[in-house]
Amino acid sequence: MPHSALPAGPGLIATFDFVRNPFRFLDACARRYGDWFTVRVPGVSPFVFTSDPAAVREVFLGDPDALHAGEANRPLGAFMGERSSLFLDGAEHLRQRRLLLPAFHGERMASHADAMRTAADNAIASWPTGRQFAIHPQMRAITFETIIRTVFGFADDESGTELRALMKKLFALYSSRLGTLLSLPAMRIDAGPWSPWGRAVRLTRQIDSILYAEFARRRKEGLEGRADVLSMLLAARYEDGQPLPDNVIRDEMYTLMLAGHETTAATMAWIINRLLTNPDVMERARAEVFSILRDQQLDSSHVGKLKYVEAVINETMRLDPVIPNFGRTLKRPLKIAGGDLPAGVTIAPCIYLVHRRPELWPNPNQFNPNRFLESRPSPYTFLPFGGGARRCLGAAFATYQMKIVIAEILSRVELKPVDGYVARATRRGIAFAPSEGLPVIATGAAVS
C-alpha cells in the first residue's frame, strides 16, 4: 500500500457498479488494483478496501477508540435507531454488548429450536409443487416469523398480529431502492405520509407504540419463564443495577429484526442456490439429515450433529457473503499492515475478497464444504460475521437457525433449479441476495 497517499481506486461511474453487481465490482478492483484500493462516494469519507489478512488481523485487534465501527455503520441507522449497539463505539459499546451477549449464548438456542422448525415447516407446506416460485421471499418469511416469536416473544394475539403487519411494511420500505436512498441523511425529509421518509416515520411511531406498551405490560406481569430475547433485555441490568432504558431496548429490537432478518434469509437463499448447482453436495447433506433424524422430528438434540450441513453453510458464506465488507472509521492516523492511513477515512476489510485468496483457500472459486470438515479456519481468513470485539452478536443464533431450516428443507421436499437461471447478487436492505428471488421448482416430497 502506498505510504504517501491513499491507494488508487475506481472512478465514481465505475463505483456505481458496486450497487448493481457488487461481486463483479470487487473482482474487477482486485484484478486492477491488488490488495488495496480506495472507493469514493460523494459526501462520504473515502473507503479504503483491503483483502490483506495482516490488515484484517490488525483491524480486529486494534484500539477500538481509534477504529470506530459504530461511526462506520452510521448510514444504516435511518431505520434502526441511534442507541443500537451497532452504532456505538468505545466503552459505551462494550457496556451494552455485555448485556446483550447472554441472550445469544449457544445454550439459549436450544429453547428456540421448536419455533425455528415450526416456522420452516409452515413455509414449506405452502410451496407449490411442479411450478416455479421464488424461494428467497420464503426464507424471509421464515426468519421474520422466527424473530417475532423468539426475539420479540410475540404470539398470534391482537398485538402480535398488528406488529407483524407493521414490521412487514417497514421492512418492505427498508429493503427497497428507496430504503437504500434513505441511508443518506439528506433524503430523510418528512414531507407527509406519502413521502418515503414520512412513511417510515409514521410506521415506526405505530411500532413504537406497540413495543413500549409491551415493555410496560411485561414488567408489570413479570418475566418469569420467558426465554425470548426481549424479555431478557427487560430483565438485564448495568453494573450499577440500572435497567436498560426503553429507547435502547427499542433500538436493539429494530436492529435484530431489520439486520438479522434479512442477512439470515439472504444467506439461506444462497445456500439453496449452492445446493441446487452442486447436486452431489445436496445428496450428501440430505443423507446426513436422514441418518441423524431416523424418522424423528428434528429438535435441539439433532442440531449439533449436522456437521456436513454446517460445512455447507460455512462454504456458502465463504463464497457468497451477504455483506461483502465491514468498516472502521479512523479517529487518528494509523499504520496498518505497514501503510499509513489518515484520520477520517474508513478502512473496509473485504470479506468477499479475503475469502477468495488462493493462498488461503486453494481453488478458491470451487464450492467444497470439505474445507470446513478438514480444518478450522483462522478468524482473520474466514469472517462472514466480522470479527474482534465487533463480531456479530447474532452469529450463533443465525447459524443455529440456518442448520434447522436447511435440514427441514432437505428432509421434506425435493427442489430443482430453473433452466437457464444464473444467480447474481442484488441488494436487499443491507444484504446482497440472489437475483430474482432465486426461482426454484419443488418436485415433491424428499426421499431418503
The answer to whether position 168 is within a domain reads yes
Grid coordinates in use for 422?
444464473
**Which strands sit side by side in the sheet containing 36-39, from one edge to the other?**
36-39, 47-50, 346-349, 328-330, 67-68
> ∠ CA(140), CA(145), CA(150), 5° rounding?
125
Which has the minimum average pLDDT: 1-15, 60-74, 206-220?
1-15
Which one is predicted more confidently, 435 or 171? 435
Can you give the CATH number for the domain in which 422 is found?
A: 1.10.630.10
| pLDDT in the model for residue 140 | 94
Backbone angles phi, psi at 144, to 5 degrees: -60, -50
Question: What is the distance between the alpha carbons of residues 326 and 75, in angstroms, rounded to a whole number?
Answer: 12
* Res. 215 pLDDT band, cuts 50 70 90: very high
| pLDDT in the model for residue 182 | 59
How many distinct structural domains can be found in the chain?
Answer: 1
Backbone angles phi, psi at 349, to 5 degrees: -55, 130
The answer to whether position 343 is within a domain reads yes
| pLDDT in the model for residue 186 | 57
Mean pLDDT, rounded, for 370-388: 94
* Res. 187 pLDDT band, cuts 50 70 90: low
Q: How many CA atoms lie within 13 A of 185 on its CB side?
A: 5
Which has the minimum average pLDDT: 104-108, 149-153, 293-297?
104-108
Rounded to 10 degrees, the C-alpha dihedral 101/103/105/106 comes to -150
pLDDT digits (tens, 9 = 90+) for 385-412: 999 989 998 899 999 999 999 999 999 9
For residue 204, the SS3 value is helix
Which one is predicted more confidently, 170 or 194? 170
The answer to whether position 5 is within a domain reads no
Is the pLDDT at 115 greater than 90, yes or no? Answer: yes
Grid coordinates in use for 198?
414520512
| pLDDT in the model for residue 42 | 77
Is the pLDDT at 184 greater than 70, yes or no? Answer: no
Indicate yes or no: pTM above 0.85. Answer: yes
Strands 47-50 and 346-349: parallel
The amino acid at 346: T
For residue 306, the SS3 value is coil
The answer to whether position 169 is within a domain reads yes
Q: Which long-range CB contacts under 8 A does 69-78 form with residues at least 24 apart?
A: 69/93, 69/326, 69/327, 69/328, 69/329, 69/390, 71/329, 72/326, 72/327, 72/328, 72/329, 72/346, 72/348, 73/327, 75/44, 75/183, 75/184, 76/183, 76/259, 76/430, 78/182, 78/183, 78/188, 78/200
| pLDDT in the model for residue 2 | 44
> Cell 473482482 appears where?
27
Is the pLDDT at 76 greater than 80, yes or no? Answer: no
DSSP symbol at 241: S
Mean pLDDT, all residues of the chain? 90
- The gap from C-alpha 191 to its chain's centroid, in whole angstroms, comes to 31
Which one is predicted more confidently, 133 or 103? 133
The answer to whether position 2 is within a domain reads no
Is the pLDDT at 356 greater than 90, yes or no? Answer: yes
DSSP for 61-80, please give it.
Answer: HS-TTTEEHHHHHGGGHHHH
For residue 425, the SS3 value is strand
| pLDDT in the model for residue 3 | 41
| pLDDT in the model for residue 45 | 85
- The gap from C-alpha 384 to its chain's centroid, in whole angstroms, comes to 9
Mean pLDDT, rounded, for 308-319: 98
The answer to whether position 1 is within a domain reads no
Q: How far is CA 50 from CA 12, 47, 78, in A?
A: 19, 10, 27
Question: What is the distance between the alpha carbons of residues 177 and 192, in angstroms, rounded to a whole number?
Answer: 19
Which has the minimum average pLDDT: 141-155, 194-208, 364-378?
194-208
* Res. 174 pLDDT band, cuts 50 70 90: confident
| pLDDT in the model for residue 264 | 96
Domain that holds residue 415: 12-445
Mean pLDDT, rounded, for 93-107: 84
| pLDDT in the model for residue 201 | 83
* Res. 107 pLDDT band, cuts 50 70 90: confident
* Res. 102 pLDDT band, cuts 50 70 90: confident
Q: What kind and span of H or E run contains 271?
A: helix 261-277
Question: What is the distance between the alpha carbons of residues 101 and 170, in angstroms, rounded to a whole number?
Answer: 26
The answer to whether position 165 is within a domain reads yes
The answer to whether position 71 is within a domain reads yes
pLDDT digits (tens, 9 = 90+) for 256-278: 888 888 999 999 999 999 999 99
Question: What is the distance between the alpha carbons of residues 74 and 78, in angstroms, rounded to a whole number?
Answer: 8
